[in-house]
Amino acid sequence: MNPYSSNNLDFGDEHRLGGRGRFLQRIHLDGPLLFALLLLASIGLIVIYSAGSQDSGLMLRQIIRLILGFIMMVAIAQIHPRTLSHWAPWIFAAGILMLVLVLVLGEVGKGAQRWLNLGLFRFQPSELMKLALPMMIAYYLGSTPLPPRKLRLLACSLLVIIPTFLVAKQPDLGTALLIASSGIFGLFLAGIRWRLIVSMFILMAASAPFAWNMMHDYQQRRVLTFINPETDPLGAGYHIIQSTIAIGSGGVYGKGWLNGTQSHLDFLPERSTDFIFAVLSEEFGLIGVLLLLSIYLFITARGLMIASQAQDTFTRLLAGSLTLTFFVYIFVNIGMVSGLLPVVGVPLPLISYGGTSVVTIMASFGILMSIKTNRKLVG
C-alpha cells in the first residue's frame, strides 16, 4: 500500500486509496455502491411519503427498516468470502429445512404460509433462500473446473428446483421466480453449454401446461388477466389498468410530488408496496423514471464490475448472480406495473415499502462489498 497516493478515483486499486477511500476499504464498504444505495433509499422515502398519504408513521417504519438493512449490509460486508463459502452448504440445508417446516405448518394452519414464528420475530425462510441458493451454486461449482460436467449439472438443477418448488408451493410465485433466476444465473455464468440452455428452454415450454395445472386459482387468474386485463376491469384486471393509467397520465414531467390523482384518490391499489413505481411515474413523469433507472443501472453495472474483478469462481459466480437477481427485481416489478408482465409479488428494491426484502437485498450488497474489499492484494 502506498499511503501517499492521491488517486482516490481509481476504485479498482484500493491498495492505493487514501483518506475516505481507505477508511471505507478498512470497514469493507464500497463507496459508489453505498452512495447509490443511499440515494435510492432516499428517493424511496420521498415516494413512500406521497404514496402513504403523508403518513409520517409509515415513513418512520420504513426508515427503521432501512437502517436495519444498512446495518445488515455493513455486518455481512465484514465476513470474508472464504467464510461465506464454508457456510454455504449449511445455510442452504437450513434454508431447505425451514421451507419444508413452513409448508408443513401451513398445511396445519390452512392457507398460505410464508412465515416462521420464532417467538421474538417472524422469519421468512424464502428470503434466506434468495441468498442461500446462489451461495450454494457458487460453492458447488467453484470446487471443480468449469464448465461443469453432466452429473454436476444434474445436481445443480436439483439444487435450483427443490427450493423453487417449495416456495412456489407456499404459494409465493414472485419469490420463487427470484430464487430460480438466482440459481440459473449462477449456472449460466459458470459456462454451461448453449445446447443445454436451448434444450432447457424447450423443456420449460413443454412443461408449461403441467405448471399451469399446478398453479393456484388466483395465479391462473393473474396470468389470464395479464393477457387481457379488460375482461375484468373491476376485479383482477383493475390493478394493471389503474397502474398503466397512473404511469401514462404522468407524462414527461409528472403531476408533481403529492399531486398524483390516481394514487391519492385510491384508484391505485398496493400503491406503497408492489405498485409504488406507478406513484413515482405519475408524480415525477418520465424524467423521474429515467433518474431511477439510471441509479438501478449504475448499481447493476457496479455489481457486474465487482463480479468481473473477483478472483475466484465462488466470488465471481456469487457476485454475478446476486447482481443479476437484483436486476430481475427491477425488470419484473416495472414490467408488471407497466403491464408488460403478469402480476407477481415482486417489490421494487429499496423503493417499495416494507417487506423483509429490504434486509435480504441489503445483505446481498453486503456480500458484494465483502467480495469487493477482500480481493487478494496483488503486488
Which residues are near another protein by CB under 8 A? 82, 142-147, 185, 188-189, 191, 234, 242, 244-252, 261-262, 265-267, 281, 285-286, 289-290, 293, 297, 300-301, 304, 307-308, 312-313, 316-317, 320, 324, 327, 331, 334-335, 338-340, 376
Q: Closer to another protein at the Cβ: 96 or 292?
A: 292
Separation CA 73–CA 55 (nearest Å): 27
What is the 8-class DSSP label of residue 344?
-
Residue with cell 433507472: 293
Q: Closer to another protein at the Cβ: 110 or 376?
A: 376
CB of 169 to another protein, least distance (A): 28
CB of 249 to another protein, least distance (A): 4
Q: Closer to another protein at the Cβ: 22 or 232?
A: 232
CB of 250 to another protein, least distance (A): 6
Q: Closer to another protein at the Cβ: 68 or 297?
A: 297
Q: Closer to another protein at the Cβ: 134 or 171?
A: 134
Buried b / exposed e across 100-128, counting CB within 10 Å, b at 16+?
eebbeebeeeeeebbbbeeeeeeebbbbb
Separation CA 14–CA 24 (nearest Å): 10
Q: Closer to another protein at the Cβ: 87 or 123?
A: 87
> Residue 192, by phi and psi: left (phi above 0), alpha (psi -120 to 50) or beta?
beta
CA 33 to chain centre: 15
CB of 135 to another protein, least distance (A): 17
Separation CA 351–CA 241 (nearest Å): 22
CB of 339 to another protein, least distance (A): 8
Q: Closer to another protein at the Cβ: 222 or 264?
A: 264
CB of 125 to another protein, least distance (A): 28
Its sign, for the CA torsion 154, 159, 163, 166, is positive
Separation CA 131–CA 134 (nearest Å): 6
Separation CA 125–CA 172 (nearest Å): 12
Which of 186, 62, 174 shows the shortest CA–CA distance to 132? 186
CB of 331 to another protein, least distance (A): 5
What is the 8-class DSSP label of residue 123?
E
Separation CA 176–CA 103 (nearest Å): 14
Which of 353, 333, 261 shows the shortest CA–CA distance to 293? 333
Q: Closer to another protein at the Cβ: 262 or 272?
A: 262
Question: Is the backbone peptide bond immediately before 229 cis, with ω within 30 degrees of 0?
Answer: no
CB of 121 to another protein, least distance (A): 31
